[in-house]
Amino acid sequence: MRSAAVRTAWSSMRTRRATWGRAMALRDLDRYLRRPDLAYDQTAAMGALVFIDLNLQGDQAARFLGPGALWQQWLHDAPHMQGTTDPTPSSLSLIRRLCAFVDECAESG
């Protein structure tokens, strides 16, 4: 079992990483959602951004997700996304599972 000091340090580190991750996701989404011809990790980045917003009580994803915003445009214009539903819920679920796995590994380590 972890001491209170270790749990506090782990929580602080997670918050710092999430803040950094949000900045990276914002930068990448702003750049690559303007390029529907590129199929990188836009869906994973959006799932991560939504996850971070939910955990840090932020609202950064909203600028991409609104009607007519970059996310909807990219889903419509990207040839590899044609005929698919919005992958945000499944991407968010994946990010949640990955974070839970990391937390579990950290707890047992």
CA 53/CA 21 separation, integer angstroms: 11
Which residue has 């599972």 as its token pair? Answer: 97
Q: Where are the domains of the chain?
A: 4-108
pLDDT per residue rounded down to tens, the chain (109 residues): 455 655 555 566 666 677 777 888 899 999 999 999 998 999 999 999 999 999 888 899 999 999 999 999 999 999 999 888 999 999 999 999 998 998 888 777 6
**What is the 8-class DSSP label of residue 66?**
S
Q: Which amino acid is at 63?
A: R
CB 90 within 8 A of CB 49: no
Task: Output the pTM of the full model.
Answer: 0.80
